[in-house]
Chains A and B, each alone.
Chain A
Amino acid sequence: MVELRNVSVTYSNGVDALNDVSIKIKDGEFVFVVGKSGAGKSTFIRLLLKEIEPTKGRLQVNGFNLTKMKKRNAYRLRRTIGCVFQDFKLIESMNVYDNVAFVLRCIDASNKYIRNRVPYVIDLVGLKDKAYCKPSELSGGEKQRAAIARALVNDPQLIIADEPTGNLDPALKHDIVELLQAINDCGTTVIMVTHEHEIVQEFGGRIISMQDGRVVFDDVIKSNYDLEH
């Protein structure tokens, strides 16, 4: 569960990135966070990953009280979160298998578990034939699938996808969101940050819209499919 209570963030340059934001996302939800550039979406994600501290308010993610948590313990929180980024953030010197296995190495998983789990997850995202390719040998969609496999591999409670479709062709965008929805169907909470309204309208669901550091809309909308039928 993610819960922000009256959270504000003011950067050292005086910019108010978030202003008295209260959001509650229950376990198993799929939420789109939308807004223009500068609306506060990135600050929201950085807060959830404990990259930055709130100036005011209380914040809880996956049972961790982030307001009290020490920065050096942030790794505990991050091990319960899978991250998918617009620029994929894959380690270029590692192949897909090693990129995915790396997460399990970080949590000191056994070699046996890694050998079983990693191929399973890579297969799940449809990259079985590309497991030993370096990121430079993959297409944009394949890179994002590899990033999703990495986010999934340690069975996180929450997946945060920051503009995961930003660098993809329209056809691939649909596939990636569908993949995230399939993951959500298995019980993982998904927060997808995007500025692409077409995608939000296509899939529908809970939408949190942000503007100038505030939540201006938080409700469920119907998908295009629901509206047409």
Chain B
Amino acid sequence: MKLSGVNYLFGQGIKNIWTNRIMSVASFCILMVSLLLVGFSVLFIVNVNSIIGGIENKNEVIIYLDDISEDEITAMGNKLRSLDNISDVVFFSKDEAFAQMKSEMADSEELFQYVGEESPLPDSYRVKVADIEKMSSTLMEINRLDGIISVKAPNDFVNVLTELKRFISIISITVLTALVIVSLVMISNASRASVEMRKREIEIMKYVGATNSFVKTPFFVEGMVIGIVAGAVASVITLAGYSKVMEMIMSQQTLWSVVGAGSFTPMSGVAAKIVIGYIAAGALISAVGTVMSTKKYVKV
């Protein structure tokens, strides 16, 4: 095809947006609302997962050590660090443990008179488990190491959190799937209505010898442009809305002190993904949806 032909088809696509402006506005609104629905749901789910992740990171397994030499303690630390699911390893000496105990039980100072100055507590390693769903297998690996008296793990906390994660992921997938289906149906109906209004035009094009691609290209361009604009506007609304919500959360000290300020996904971490995701999804769904709606009419 000549360059003039390509220019003509792209120009027709753009021109059609204005010529069929009522349907264009309707398609734009439906697409934008659909993108916003899905986008805000994804952001909500991402943040819930992030908060759970934050809580998950607070897990701590305490490994009480036998009376072993310093070299053996260092070797034990290296072995723990080499395990797959361990994210953080901190040594806590028996003196540090005793000092902490004293400070925590400052009101019962008389009790320590009988204990004396030497720490009765064992040395320990405090480790964090990266994926708490693999907690039991990690504990088994730890227990296999020599020089351990006992291992204390937050099993109840892990079980609750694992169940919660599973529940939230099922709910998220269900809600997101439903929203995506509803959005696709809405967008498909909008593009079908838009094409339906121009079926006569398509019929004429086919009678005068237009190829299917010649008929479809302006519709593709039209759908893509509407999709890009809807994606761009939805991005602006989402970013503005998200930043406002974050601002509100950060002003609620009690809220973020419970879940941790760092548990929320920051704006900078999602801004580019939102813009690219919205525009790409908008352009693709709208363009493909519009072209698919023409399929029935190009069979003349």
Interface residues of A, Cβ cutoff 8 Å to B: 49, 51, 71-72, 74-76, 78-79, 83, 89-91, 93, 102-103, 105-108, 110-111, 150, 154
Kindly state whether residue B207 has any CB partner on chain A within 8 Å.
Answer: yes
A79 to B8, CA, bound (A): 19
Task: Enumerate chain A residues within 8 angstroms of B209, measured Cβ to Cβ.
Answer: 75-76, 78-79, 103, 106-107, 154
Q: Are A91 and B211 in contact (CB under 8 A)?
A: no
Closest A-B pairs by Cβ, 7 of them = A79-B209, A78-B209, A106-B210, A103-B208, A75-B209, A108-B5, A93-B19
**In the complex, per-residue mask of B1-42: 1 if CB is within 8 Å of any chain A CB, else 0:** 110110010000000000100000000000000000000000
Report how many A-B pairs have Cβ atoms within 8 Å.
47
Which A residue sits closest to B15, measured CB to CB?
A93
Q: A106-B210, A107-B209 are in contact. Are A89 and B8 (CB under 8 A)?
A: no
Contact residues in A for B5 (Cβ distance below 8 Å): 105, 108
Q: Check B207–A106 contact: CB distance below 8 A.
A: no
Q: Do B205 and A106 touch across chains, with their CB atoms under 8 A apart?
A: yes
Q: Which of B200, B204, B210 contacts A75 (CB 8 A)?
A: B210
A111 — which chain B residues lie within 8 A by C-beta? 4
**B8, A105: Cβ atoms closer than 8 Å:** yes
Nearest residue, chain A, Cβ from B215 = A106
Residues of B within 8 A of A79 (CB): 209
Please give me the residue from chain A that is nearest to B20 by CB atom: A93
Contact check, A110 vs B2: say whether CB atoms are below 8 A apart.
yes
Known A-B contacts: A83-B207, A83-B208. Give 19 more (CB < 8 A). Answer: A71-B299, A75-B210, A75-B211, A76-B209, A78-B208, A79-B209, A89-B204, A91-B201, A91-B204, A103-B208, A105-B5, A106-B205, A106-B208, A107-B209, A108-B1, A108-B2, A108-B5, A110-B4, A150-B208
Q: Which residues of A contact B201 (CB under 8 A)?
A: 91, 93
Cβ B19 vs Cβ A49 within 8 A? no
Can you list 13 residue pairs at the A/B interface with Cβ under 8 Å? A51-B300, A72-B212, A75-B206, A76-B209, A78-B208, A89-B200, A89-B204, A90-B204, A102-B205, A103-B208, A108-B2, A108-B5, A110-B2
Contacts of B214 in A (CB 8 A): 106
| A71 to B, closest residue via Cβ | B299
> A84 to chain B: closest CB distance in Å?
10
Q: Cβ of B60: which chain A residues have Cβ within 8 Å of it? A: none
Q: Tell me the complex Cα distance, A102–B206, Å.
A: 11
In the assembly, what is the distance between CA of A150 and CA of B206, in Å?
14
Residues of B within 8 A of A78 (CB): 206-209
A71 to B299, CA, bound (A): 8
- Separation of A49 and B204 alpha carbons in the complex (Å): 12
Answer yes or no: B203 CB below 8 A from chain A CBs.
yes
Beta-carbon contacts under 8 Å, B141-192 to A: none
A102–B208 touching, CB < 8 Å? yes
A206 to B8, CA, bound (A): 42
A106 to B5, CA, bound (A): 8
- Contact check, A89 vs B203: say whether CB atoms are below 8 A apart: yes
